[in-house]
A and B are shown apart, each in its own frame.
Chain A
Amino acid sequence: MSGVALPRIVLGHNAFFGVDHLSSQRGAERAAYFSDVENVMTVIASAVDAGAGGLMLSTHPRAAAICEALSIDARLVSKLELFPLLPYAQKYVTRANELGLVRVVTQTLAEASTRDKVGLGLDFLRTMYRRDPLDMVRALMRLELRMFRKLNVSTVFLHDAFSDLLIALNVPKVFSLYKSTLRKRFGTTAGIATKNLPLLVQRFQEWGMELPVVLTHVNKAGFHMNPSRKECERALTQPNLKVMAMGTLASGFLAPSEAYPYVNAFSAVKSIVVGASSSAHIRATFGSITASKT
């Protein structure tokens, strides 16, 4: 397992991009508010002041502007570790409706700027002409991660929509490629998001592969914990498992004072992703995390 140290509190990105697993309407309203990067930066600065050491950021079309704004703020660059989550699944899912799977990849690459294409070099040419899936994955990863190049990144997470599919289809090869590309090209560690923690642990053991840093749902309500809360709790006792917990409030269903004593009880949970949309919200939530940590 990687020796990477994770910050205890990581600010989540969902509010910025209108992702709200409890209310689509509230999600849409927040997306409109945070379309102004200034509003995003205000929340990020408050989170850093309140003790956040990390920011989770999916490669949403708007993420590039956030990265750009962050990169010119020396204080935030030094205090904040970025955790890219890729790819922004919805973008590919929507485009696949129109283009089909192979063309989504080739067209996304074809639309990249000339500078990006040159930056991708051989990976770009191999993907367009050989259409080898491993080349495609490598080229897409490089394209998606370009926006983070001026920022402090040590772990990159693969979105659960993709990792859970690969786990179900039992294809370790793609995970190996993901891991080696991150290490060789970016000097970063591979993280994997999942909604099926026990199955992920089982598969990595079967494959004889080192457990990655795992981003997964941990909450007292058992929301998104499959195949059951109990089995996820058992998996969380696995030695060598390093977890970044998400969905800790079960999308706002649990109060922070109720949620965090539960999450903090697991020693595998090294880090907690917290969604926040205002400074007041940040103070209340972060306070509960530190108060309940023994």
Chain B
Amino acid sequence: MTELRGAVVGFGKLGLLHAGLANGLPNSRLAAVVENSGVIQRIVQQYFPDVNVFSTVEELIEARVSDYVIVATPTGSHVSIAERLVEASIPVFIEKPLSLNAQEAQPLVAALNRNWVPNMVGYMGRYIDTFRRAAQLLRVNILGQVQMIRSSMYVEQLLKPGEGWRYDPATSGGGVLITQNSHVIDKLLWMFGDITGVSGNTSQLVSRFVEDHVHAHLEFASGAVGFIDASWSARHFRTPAISIHAQGTNGTLDVNDDEVRLFLDNSIGETSSGWTTWRKPDLYRPVPLDIGGTQYTFQMIDFLEAVTNHSDLDSNVVSGLKTQLVIDAVYESARRDGARVNVANFLP
């Protein structure tokens, strides 16, 4: 099998993590880095003499040294960078969230319609063992008709106004709703299907320009109803904690980063009635290389496979756009004091 040559655009925290995987996983190596910081360019040149360093994506495309590209820049530049890569027929991995809003992502969607290449949006939470098991259970309709869904995301990240691009809506698209909570929306869509209507409110607890808390009521196409509640200013959460609870006609399902708990009124297949719990060590699957969590590795393995086979992925620009539509609808509802908003209104 030929070794794939990977490039990373944006050599920050996640860029570095993806670079490690691109270089350390079998059948792939890090071939290029695009970074506009002179300090980082110098560090890469000094420590990775075999890696090409470029200041712009154009230079990278021109040099033809990469079989795939990972875009790990601030959100506001994802679309323009990815669009140029798609035009150049280079498979692209884009960190989440896809874009500042659904409208902004249109040129990329259009470019893929003209010239499709394997594409992925980095909602790595789908690869966390507990959420993966929960999704498998839901796929076989273990809960029957899902009626009610509660979800939350809390992390103690911001107890005073933050600095940097994440807290500037022009480059980040917004606050906690579009950053960490986009993971929750992606998981809800993946596990429970389309969301058709929302009503929500956002609040600023410590920030001046972006929301620190969001609460939104959700209506699913399946008929289920539910809510999300999220904050990045929540004390006692050392790392982001996502919880989802679903109630269906057959029982209930609770999933978080640590465990999956299923309750069934009656046995279904091999799953017995009453409570069944799967904890992280029960579900653990080793990986060829773990840097900062096995979910990143599984995600990259899937992406590399799609690059090799020129195949599609579950978490792609199309699914990333759906998440963006729900985010746009919640922001719009919050601007209108929590009025109900149709998600379809945001379809370009």
Contact = CB atoms under 8 A, between A and B. Distances in A.
A171 B241 contact: no
B256 A24 contact: yes
Contacts of A96: 12-13
Interface in A190-204: 195-196, 199
Interface string B232-247: 0000111101000000
Contacts of A170: 23-24
A1 interface: no
A272 interface: no
Contacts of B164: 97-100
A90 B238 contact: yes
A237 interface: no
B57 interface: no
Interface string A41-82: 000000000000000000000000000000000000000000
Interface stretch (A2-10, A14-22, A150-158): A14-22
Interface stretch (B76-84, B285-293, B320-328): B285-293
Query: A-side binding surface: helix, strand, loop or mixed?
Result: helix
Interface stretch (B37-45, B119-127, B192-200, B267-275): B37-45
A18 B238 CA distance: 8
A226 B21 contact: no
B279 interface: yes
Contacts of B20: 164-165, 168-169
A171 B47 contact: yes
Contact of A22 (B280, B287, B290, B291): B280
B67 interface: no
Nearest to A98: B164
A97 B48 CA distance: 24
Contact of A28 (B11, B236, B284): B236
Contacts of A102: 37, 39-40
A256 interface: no
B89 interface: no
Interface string A215-252: 00000011111111100000000000000000000110
B108 to A, nearest CB: 25
B112 to A, nearest CB: 29
Interface in A173-202: 173-174, 195-196, 199
A221 B284 contact: yes
A281 interface: no
B12 A101 contact: yes
B46 interface: yes
A251 B281 contact: yes
Nearest to A96: B13
B13 to A, nearest CB: 4
B21 A168 contact: yes
Given A168-B23, A253-B281, A133 B288 contact: no
A173 B39 CA distance: 18
B225 interface: no
B257 A195 contact: no
Kindly name the residue among A93, A165, A167, A250 whose own CB sees the greatest number of chain B CB atoms within 10 A.
A165
B236 A222 contact: no
Contacts of B48: 169, 171
A98 B23 contact: no
A17 B239 CA distance: 12
Contacts of A224: 284, 290
Contacts of A222: 284, 286
Interface in B199-239: 236-239
B284 A223 contact: yes
A22 B278 CA distance: 11
Interface string B146-190: 000000000001000011101100000000000000000000000
B284 A97 contact: no
A92 B21 CA distance: 20
A185 to B, nearest CB: 22
Interface in B242-263: 256-259
A94 interface: yes
Kindly name the residue among A21, A23, A24, A250 whose own CB sees the greatest number of chain B CB atoms within 10 A.
A24
Interface of B: 11-13, 16-17, 19-21, 23-24, 30, 37, 39-40, 43, 46-48, 157, 162-164, 166-167, 236-239, 241, 256-259, 279-282, 284, 286-292, 294
Given A28-B238, A98-B166, A196-B289, 10 more contacts: A22-B258, A23-B258, A24-B241, A98-B164, A168-B289, A169-B19, A169-B30, A199-B289, A223-B284, A226-B288
Q: Which 8 A-B pairs have the closest CB atoms?
A: A168-B24, A168-B20, A253-B281, A28-B236, A98-B164, A195-B290, A96-B13, A223-B281
26 contacts: A22-B279, A23-B258, A24-B238, A90-B238, A90-B239, A94-B157, A97-B157, A97-B164, A98-B162, A98-B166, A99-B164, A102-B37, A131-B39, A161-B291, A164-B292, A165-B17, A165-B291, A168-B23, A169-B48, A173-B47, A174-B47, A221-B281, A224-B290, A226-B290, A227-B289, A253-B282
